[in-house]
Amino acid sequence: MQTLPMMPEQASTAASEVDALYIFLVALTTVFAILIAGAIVYFAVKYRRRSPQDLPRPIEGALKLEIFWSVIPFIISMGIFAWGTSIYFKQYRMPAEAMEIYVVGKQWMWKFQHIEGQREINELHIPLGRKVKLTMTTEDVIHSLYIPAFRVKTDVVPGKYTSLWFEATKAGRYHLFCAEYCGTNHSGMIGWIEVMEPPDYQAWLAGGKQEGSLAQAGEKLFQSLACANCHKSDQAGKGPALDDLFGSVVALQGGQTVTADVEYIRESILNPQAKIVAGFPRPQMPASMPTFQGLVTEEQMLQLIEYIKSLKTKQGASAQPTQPQASETGAGKPQK
């Protein structure tokens, strides 16, 4: 007879650590529940009132006992805190070498975009034994991507990017869910993670419909939105150059600086006046960049971001951009 499993299958590097902490918490609470319930029954019987004239003796207190039942729980709780914190930092520090996949949540589906250009809906193919980073956003309400077998779950929030990572340890097919109530068809917002052996994954990747990489799609969109008219590599345009922008430190008006990450690029496209690059707009070109709010979808935004990440100077990623280069990003930023 098939038995009901106590937990989902462990299929990631994080699963065993999360389960160990969970089992410890369950065991700890079980032991203390038994001890406390037993003590209540024991003392209720031992010190029961046997007659109406039976009066309890005054108790002065026991300092050693009070210290004991204060210090021991404190040590246990701090141990749980340290253990949980170590797992948290492991799971929420994104590994630099991870393979990146973009995710867009929408009522009621999950849309995945691979860097190579493949797109999937409610199904994600990944290679076994490879760290995978998901960069996620949503087109409408809050969702939450949950993969029980990997023991990972992260909210997907409108207007910003959230991330999670995992490394699958077993080939197979695993459920993914939306774990945040998101509307009437919330229960149907489910899908699958297909973990494949690396050769099989490469064959799947090569066998898909080829429409160009995500960066190539972003380049076409960049040109169609006329962004290249203002963001020129020779810095002769109204807006700052974008080569080597991603990951650099951008100098802003007022003396502040900001790191050019995905959040900064998104904000620069949708709200160009939020963070204006030092030296822009130029006096001889007094124009301001329009917002692309409502003109660019979340999927197109990811394409633009990936294209900007791909822009390099001849010196490569190690080149140090000038102040105007370390600047505003994005889809058609005439200037900031």
DSSP states along 72-112: HHHHHHHHHHHHHHHHHHHHHS--TTPEEEEEEEETTEEEE
- My answer on whether 169 and 266 are in the same domain is no
Which of 187, 211, 235 is where one domain is finished? 211
Alpha helices in 254-310 (DSSP H): 262-270, 298-310
- My answer on whether 248 and 269 are in the same domain is yes
Domain annotation covers residue 75: no
Domain annotation covers residue 228: yes
- My answer on whether 103 and 6 are in the same domain is yes
- Domain range spanning residue 166? 1-43+94-211
Q: Does this model's pTM top 0.85?
A: no
- My answer on whether 181 and 257 are in the same domain is no
- My answer on whether 276 and 187 are in the same domain is no
Contacts of 160 (CB under 8 A, 6+ apart): 137, 263, 266
Domain annotation covers residue 326: no
Q: Are 305 and 214 in contact (CB under 8 A)?
A: no
User: pLDDT in tens for each of the 336 residues of the chain?
Assistant: 455 577 888 999 999 999 999 999 999 999 999 999 999 999 999 888 888 777 777 777 788 888 988 999 999 999 999 999 999 999 989 998 899 999 999 999 999 999 888 889 999 999 999 999 999 999 999 999 999 999 999 999 998 899 999 999 999 999 999 999 999 999 999 999 999 999 999 888 887 666 678 888 888 888 888 887 888 777 777 878 888 888 888 888 888 898 888 888 888 888 888 888 887 776 555 567 788 888 888 888 888 888 888 887 654 544 443 333 333 333 333 333
Residue 240: CATH number of its domain: 1.10.760.10
- My answer on whether 105 and 244 are in the same domain is no
Domain annotation covers residue 60: no
Beta strands in the chain (DSSP E): 99-106, 109-114, 119-121, 123-127, 131-138, 143-147, 152-156, 162-167, 172-178, 190-196, 249-251, 257-259
What total number of domains does the chain contain? 2
Which of 150, 182, 211 is where one domain is finished? 211
- My answer on whether 266 and 298 are in the same domain is yes
